[in-house]
Amino acid sequence: MKTSKKVLHLVEYLYLGGIERLLEQLALNTGDEAQLHFFTYETETLGGIGKAISDRDFPVFTFKKKSGRDWNLVRELIRVVKEHQIDTIHTHDFGPMEYATLLKVRFPHLRLIHTQHTVHHFLARKSYRYFFQAASYLYKCIICVSGHVKDSIIGGCPAVNKKALRVIPNGVDTNLFTPDKSKTITFSPLKLVSVCRISYEKNLDYLLNTCRLLKEHQIPFEFHHAGTSKLPSTKANLEKYVTDHGLESEVTFYGFMEDPRAVLAKGDFFVSSSLQEGHPVAVLEAMALEKICICSDIAPHKETSHGVIELFNLANERALFELLKNFSQQKPDLNILMGQTRDVVLKNYSLKKMVDEYVELYF
């Protein structure tokens, strides 16, 4: 019988996003084989998903790191590892790797696991690429959430420990994300929905421009968005755009929602105009709910598509609008496609498979 392992998930932020959603699913579904702990070092007060995890009695440690390397953070991590007898440090995205490698020097018994969710931040800086390649030889496994992420790492970091690289796609709890079979798609108004943080990478400006075009062409629609931003000014700029273009009656921002199903239920068409992704959890959840997914033609969306996602040319500012206009005018029968979206998730992105593969690495 396996002895339960004590795992510390080390992250920068623990509020709202794809990483946080994955961590929440791990917390809820890992079971007794691993005792999960969480440490966020860019957070002073828990909110969002971090608070939700804490409220379920998982140990969650918070710390506000100073700029640059913070030795007080190192001391606090050492304390947590010693007091809680941590066996494994599981880092997420580039930032925490620096601190995990320092902990490995202090505690040679530690097993290091890493999940790289996105690549656009660290691959852009030479010093980060050099560090990642060197640190990779201290890790038992570096999980890439998609083939795109793995290929990008190998391309940008040719000296990386390739034996440590492994693709484990994000998974979805299809028992939780179950479609409402009683609902039918409406084309007037078009019911659009989006779930993502408000940031440059998510490119919500493109979606609001599409909303403006729909209104100018008198195509009835609703747009529902759940997600928040690190900086209030980022959201304020979007809200100003809505006001300036008279979209207040069509566009609704809900902010953070612990359960994305509530806002996803308001839409028939899930839209994403992301410039960059790793492996988009929100898209997978929408697919599990049998939403018609219309996404930008970036590599992660193509990899996730399996032929059931409508892809539009991100370089064309009218591409999404033209797709939606065609749906509004032609009113196609989308029932077969809706069923296929969920089938893709069931066959390829099982939450149980993802969790089992993660837990296996802790032993």
What is residue 48's predicted lDDT score, i.e. its pLDDT?
80
Beta strands (DSSP E) in the chain are 5-11, 34-40, 42-43, 60-64, 88-92, 111-116, 141-144, 165-167, 190-195, 221-226, 251-253, 269-272, 292-296, 310-312
For the cut 70, the answer to whether the pLDDT of residue 207 exceeds it is yes
Q: How far apart are CA 165 and CA 349, in angstroms?
A: 19
Using the predicted structure, report yes or no on whether residue 16 has a pLDDT greater than 80. no
pLDDT in tens, 261-286: 999 999 999 999 999 999 999 999 99
Where residue 232 falls among pLDDT bands split at 50, 70, 90? confident
* 40: nearest Cα among 21, 60, 58, 56: 60
Say what percent of the chain tops pLDDT 90: 82
Note the pLDDT tens digit of each residue in 328-356.
999 999 989 999 999 999 999 989 999 99
Q: What is the mean pLDDT of the chain?
A: 94
Of 6, 61, 62, the closest CA to residue 30 belongs to 6
**Does the pLDDT at position 55 exceed 70?**
yes
Taking 80 as the threshold, does the pLDDT of residue 363 lie above it?
yes
What the chain holds in terms of domains, given with CATH numbers, is 5-168 (3.40.50.2000), 190-348 (3.40.50.2000)
**For residue 327, what pLDDT is reported?**
96
Task: Read off the pLDDT of each residue in 59-85 and give the average, rounded to a whole number.
Answer: 96
* pLDDT band at 53; cut points 50, 70, 90: very high
**Mean pLDDT along residues 190-196:** 97
Cis peptide before 169 (omega within 30 of 0): no
- Cβ contact 68:41 at 8 Å: no
Categorize the per-residue pLDDT at 2 as very low, low, confident or very high, splitting at 50, 70 and 90.
Answer: low
C-alpha–C-alpha distance, residues 247 and 213, integer Å? 11
- How confident is residue 47, by pLDDT bands cut at 50, 70 and 90? confident
Average pLDDT score over residue span 104-130 = 94
* Length in residues, the chain: 363
Instruction: Name the 3-class secondary structure at 60.
Output: strand
Instruction: Kindly report the number of other CB atoms within 10 A of residue 123's CB atom.
Output: 17
pLDDT for res 220: 98
DSSP-derived 3-state class of residue 5: strand
**Across 9-27, average pLDDT:** 87
What was the pLDDT predicted at 228?
A: 87
CA–CA separation, 130 vs 139, rounded Å? 15
Q: Using an 8 Å Cβ cutoff, are 226 and 17 in contact?
A: no
Contacts of 175 (CB under 8 A, 6+ apart): none
DSSP 3-state assignment of 297? coil
pLDDT in tens, 131-189: 999 999 999 999 999 999 999 999 999 999 999 999 999 999 999 999 998 888 999 99
- Res 217 pLDDT > 80: yes
- Given a contact cutoff of 8 angstroms between Cβ atoms, the answer to whether 177 and 171 are in contact is no
